[in-house]
Amino acid sequence: MTSTVLYNGDLRTIAQHNQSGSVIETDAPLDNNGKGERFSPTDLVATALASCMLTIIGIAARSHGFSIEGTQCAVTKIMLSDPRRIGEIKISMTFPAEGVYDAKTQAIIERAALTCPVLESLHPDLKKTIEFLWP
């Protein structure tokens, strides 16, 4: 079992990762009857995409002998209605100024990012806009 999720009332959940014991709380967003005081479940989906991309790039970087430490993703989630769902996830990935990213390294990074398991798991109708910002 991966995790346990408890409904804590007032549109909040507490999810616990079974192996590590780490905890994530969620809250419904303001536009869906919530308080917006925590990540919403759909925020976590968008955030998981960025986290997955960085993880897979990190694995590729390690095996090719370069670092992406300090790389940061700005994540934007755009909701649609009827039915309510995520319509687009935008990720702007900014690489640190001190890094050296030649054409080969950029190709390795982009290929890794665009083959991460979360990206491969999202529905094809969900628009994914990924921007790589090199120093």
What is the per-residue pLDDT across 19-77, written as a single tens digit (0 to 9) for each? 999 999 999 999 999 999 999 999 999 999 999 999 999 999 999 999 999 999 999 99
| pLDDT band (50, 70, 90) for residue 105 | very high
Rg (CA), the chain: 17
CA-to-CA distance for 6 and 62, rounded, in angstroms? Answer: 37
d(CA 120, CA 122): 6
**Is 3.30.420.10 the CATH classification of the domain at 40-133?**
no
- Domain residue ranges of the chain, discontinuous segments joined by +: 1-39, 40-133
